[in-house]
Amino acid sequence: QDPLWIDTEGDNSVATTDKDAFRMNQRETEAHQARLQHLCRICGGSFKAIPYKRSHPVHGPVDNVMQAVLRKKEKRATSWPELLAKVFKIDVRGDIDTIHPTNFCHNCWNFIQKKFSNVPCEVYFPRKGPVEWHPHSPSCEVCGTL
């Protein structure tokens, strides 16, 4: 039915249904967004499964430890978006909070650190590549897996 339909019966059934649907969608979106906060932006791993639940913000300045590693290699990166673009070929600057997690796990942080350290062996990312995130939908993988 048309959401702008005028209720001539006087029981407000259409308006109530539209409001309920809106509230349900809003609740689902909020629940989806809350679930995203427990996932790594890069690998999709759950922070609940990682010991100590260490995570790092996707946006903001690179931490002091990583700055020191980069300085040794004479590399420069002042922000995580810049470094994540170099290492994982992903642009997080256009991320949307209702679609993308806002943190990445310490395992991915270690991957970045080893990539710029003097580690003699080749470093492999545990997945084929970074996770591709999608908006919430009825067949949402984020909401179905947690």
Percentage, residues of the chain above pLDDT 70: 74
pTM of the entire predicted model: 0.74
Token representation of residue 12: 């407000």
Query: Domain segments of the chain: what residues?
Result: 13-123+136-145
Distant-in-sequence contacts of 85-94, Cβ < 8 A, 24+ apart: 87/111, 87/112, 87/115, 88/42, 88/125, 88/129, 88/130, 89/129, 89/130, 90/42, 90/130, 92/41, 92/58, 92/59, 93/59
For residue 111, give the amino acid letter: F
Is the pLDDT score of 23 beyond 70?
A: no
Percentage, residues of the chain above pLDDT 90: 32
Is the pLDDT score of 38 beyond 80?
A: yes
Is the pLDDT score of 91 beyond 90?
A: yes
Give the pLDDT band of residue 5 (cuts 50, 70, 90).
Answer: very low
Q: Please report, to the nearest 10 degrees, the dihedral formed by the alpha carbons of residues 37, 111, 81, 132 taken in order.
A: -60
